[in-house]
Amino acid sequence: METVLNIIRHEQDKLDGIAISTAGVVDSERGEISYAGYTIPAYTGTKIKAQIEEAFQIACHVENDVNCAALGEFYSGKVASSGSVLCLTIGTGIGGAFLSEGKLFKGAGNRALEIGYMQINGNDYQELASTSALVKKANALFSRTDLTGRQIMVEAQGGNEKMQALLGVWIDNLTAGLVNLIYVLNPEVIILGGGIMEQKDYFKPRIEEALLNQLVSPSFNANVQFATLGNEAGMVGALYHFLTKEGCVS
């Protein structure tokens, strides 16, 4: 938090408010972290809104990063007319957000859509289908230490059949989670984000085929789209959330 406070302090004269998108389970009314997993030790309980408003006397609103990404993609993209949208971000873990008629579904205690912990064959979903899980598996399988998500894609698209096979298994794992979410939420649109999903030309046909293979009927299928805002999605969504809280948009 001290780094955040220093950044704000440096720009204070230019600011009318602070919109924050952050990892963790966020109590957006109180602007604090209700729970943070093992990837961010000691983050649970951080009172972001209170610290910033007390220090600078300006409005601050805080929301979960995947929720912000979903809001950003929804309100600035092609899916704003969709009644129900499921958004996944795939990276170090897997995060999820669900919008119904443009409103976030948060569940009791703001803990809905913590889908990285969803169980797939006795494993956390993110242990099987996150980018970090793919990278870990690839380095172990090929006795390497240099592979990244980007390098895996370069080699697979360059014709490395073993890398393509590994990606095929990973896509099946990713799709298994999507199938469960489709059965429960019945979204009209699924938006997939995260750095690796920038390779949409590779993933879109393969994920769509895997969905058809795994779903009990094509009638359950959803329209698979890919995030268009990249790293800006969270910032756009955080701004929208801020403006909503301040009564500037409905």
Residue 155: the pLDDT is 95
- What are the pLDDT digits (tens) for 128-163? 999 999 999 999 999 999 999 999 999 999 999 999
Confidence band, pLDDT 50/70/90 cuts, at residue 240: very high
Sign of CA dihedral 5, 59, 77, 113: positive
Task: Spell out the domains of the chain, with CATH numbers in brackets.
Answer: 2-64+232-245 (3.30.420.40), 78-227 (3.30.420.40)
- What are the pLDDT digits (tens) for 78-98? 777 788 999 999 999 999 999
Could you give the percent of the chain with pLDDT greater than 70? 100
Look at residue 210 and tell me whether its pLDDT is greater than 80: yes
DSSP state letter for 60: E
- What are the pLDDT digits (tens) for 179-188? 999 999 999 9
Residue 76: the pLDDT is 85
Look at residue 232 and tell me whether its pLDDT is greater than 80: yes
- Structure token pair of residue 159: 């014709």
Beta bridge partners of 85: 99, 189
Q: With H, G, I as helix, E, B as strand and everything else as coil, classify residue 90.
A: strand
The rounded mean pLDDT for the chain is 93
Residue 222: the pLDDT is 87
Burial (CB count <10 Å: 0-12, 13-18, 19+), residue 128: buried
- Structure token pair of residue 122: 């006795």
Mean pLDDT over 175-195 rounds to 96
Residue 250: the pLDDT is 66
Residue 248: the pLDDT is 87
Listing DSSP states for 1-50 in one string gives -HHHHHHHHHHGGG-SEEEEEESSEEETTTTEEEE--TTSTT-TT--HHH
Mean pLDDT over 101-106 rounds to 92
For 35, phi then psi, to 5°, come to -160, 140
Confidence band, pLDDT 50/70/90 cuts, at residue 4: very high
Look at residue 38 and tell me whether its pLDDT is greater than 70: yes
Residue 41: the pLDDT is 79
Of 241, 225, 146, 156, the closest CA to residue 193 belongs to 225
AA identity, residue 122: G
